[in-house]
Amino acid sequence: MRIGTLALCALSSATLAWIGDHAAQAAEPAPVEELGVEAPPEVDVTMPGGPTAMRPHTEVGSIPIALSGYFWADTGYMKRTNARAGQYDSDVAYAQGRFVLAAEYYQEYAGMFATSKLELIGFVNEFTKSQFEAHVLDAYVMLGQRAWDVQVGRFLAWEVYHRGQGIELYTAEEAGALGGPSLYWLDYTRGHKNEAGQLAFHLYPSDCLGIEIAGVYGQESNQNNYGLRPVVDFHPGKLQLIAGFEYLTQQPQTTADKVEVTSMGFAAKLQYAFPYVTVGADVAHASVDYTDIQGLTDSDKTFDKTSVGGFADIDFGVGSIGLGYHYTMQKNEQDEQNTHQQMFVSYLHRLPIEGLSLKLVYGFALAHIEDNDGAGSSWDNNMHSVRLRVAYDFQ
C-alpha cells in the first residue's frame, strides 16, 4: 500500500510540476533577491504538528529547551449598523494584542522521539482579558517516530477550512455583522477547550499524505464532552487537498439536567500554490441538535449550517496582498434562515528585521436576520472595519 501511495504522490508531483513550469514561463517576475529584499520562507503545507515541527535551537542552562514565540498588536476601528427596530448602531475603537512564549523539550532514543511543549500568554489589555481568557495555549506531550506519533494534552488539531490572512482569531473581521451566524470551519472539536483535554494520533504513510485522528474528552461547563475529529491531508507538490469530519456530544453530568447537545460536520479545502500566488476554496457543513433543560428539542438552537468561501494570497517578497470572501447560511427548526457574508482585503509588509511585519486589513460583512417569533420580521445588518497589526515572530 505504501508503494502505491508513493507512486501516486510521484505521479501527481510530476504532473503538477509540468503545469507550474508552463504557468511560470508565461510571465515570471524577477527573483526577490534582485529587488534588494530577502525572499520569504516557503510556506510549509505539511501537517502543522508533523515531522517538520519546531525542534530545539536554544538551550536554557543544561536543559535542552527550545524557546520561540510571537507578538501581535491590533489597533482598529469597527462600525456596526443595526437595522432592527429599537436597536442602535455602534462605533468601536479598540486596541488588543498578545505575547506568546513557547518552551519545548525534545529528546530522541532508539529511533523514537518525545517532546513536550508549553505556550504562555500575556495580554496587551490584561485587565479585561485576564477575566475571560486562558493564559495557556498549547500544553501537551508527544511521543512517536517519523511515520507516526501520539499527542496528549491541550492543543489545536489540524486546520481544514482556511479563512485567509485577513480573518484572524479575536478580530472584528471574524465577528462580522451583528447577529450574523458564525462561519463554520470544523472548529467544534479542534481544541483549546477551557476544561476538556485532547488526544490525537498522527500517521504519515508517505511524504505527501498525512492522517490525524483527534478527539476531545472531559468536562466543559458542567457537561461531559466526547468528540472525534479525523482529518486526511493529501499534498503532492504545490497542491493540497485536505478534508475532515467531526462529531461532538455534550451530555449532562447530573440526572436533574436534561441539556444535551450533539454536533457533527465536515469540511474540505482545495489549495494550489502558483509562483507568487496561492489560491484556495473551502466548503463546510454542520448540524446541531439541542435538547433543553426540560428534555425537549430547542427549535431555535437546533440548526443546519453551511459555509463556503475562497481566498488568494499574492506574494511578492517584501509584501503580500490577501483577498477573501466567505458565505454562511444557517437555518433552524423555526424555519429562520440567517445568512452572513464576510470579506476582506489586506496588505502585509515584511520589515527588514526578520519576523517583523505590518499588516493593514479592511473588512466588510453583511448579515440577513430573520425572526419568526410573534408577527415575524427580517432585517439586514452590516459591519465595516479597519485595523493595523504589528507582528513579530521569533524562532
**How far apart are alpha carbons 348 and 275 in whole angstroms?**
18
Domain boundaries, the chain: 44-394
Q: Are strands 209-220 and 90-109 parallel, antiparallel or unpaired?
A: unpaired
Q: Which three cell numbers stand for residue 163?
A: 479563512
Residue 255 Cα distances to 223, 248, 252, 270, angstroms: 12, 20, 7, 45
Across 184-208, b (16+ Cβ under 10 Å) vs e yields bbbbbbbbbbeebbbebebebbbeb
Residues 6+ apart with CB under 8 A from 49: 142, 149, 151, 155, 158, 200, 202, 212
Residues 6+ apart with CB under 8 A from 153: 138, 139, 140, 141, 197, 198
Residues 138, 144, 147, 148, CA torsion sign: negative
**How far apart are alpha carbons 170 and 291 in whole angstroms?**
29
Alpha-carbon torsion, ordered 19, 23, 25, 27, to 10 deg:
-170
Residue by residue, DSSP assigns 136-156 as EEEEEEEEEETTEEEEEEE-B
- The beta strands (E) that lie in the chain are given as 65-81, 90-109, 112-123, 136-145, 148-154, 197-206, 209-220, 223-234, 239-252, 260-274, 277-291, 303-315, 319-332, 337-350, 356-371, 377-394
Its pTM stands at 0.84
The CATH code belonging to domain 44-394 is: 2.40.160.10
Query: From first to last of its 395 residues, what are the pLDDT tens digits of the chain?
Result: 444 554 445 545 544 444 444 444 433 333 333 333 333 333 333 344 444 444 444 555 567 899 999 999 999 999 999 998 888 999 999 999 999 999 999 999 999 999 999 999 999 987 655 556 668 999 999 999 999 999 999 999 999 999 999 999 999 999 999 999 999 999 999 999 989 999 999 999 999 999 999 999 999 988 999 999 999 999 999 999 999 999 999 999 998 899 999 999 999 999 999 999 999 999 999 999 999 999 999 999 999 999 999 999 999 999 999 999 999 999 999 999 999 999 999 999 999 999 999 999 999 999 999 998 756 689 999 999 999 999 999 98
**How far apart are alpha carbons 330 and 339 in whole angstroms?**
6
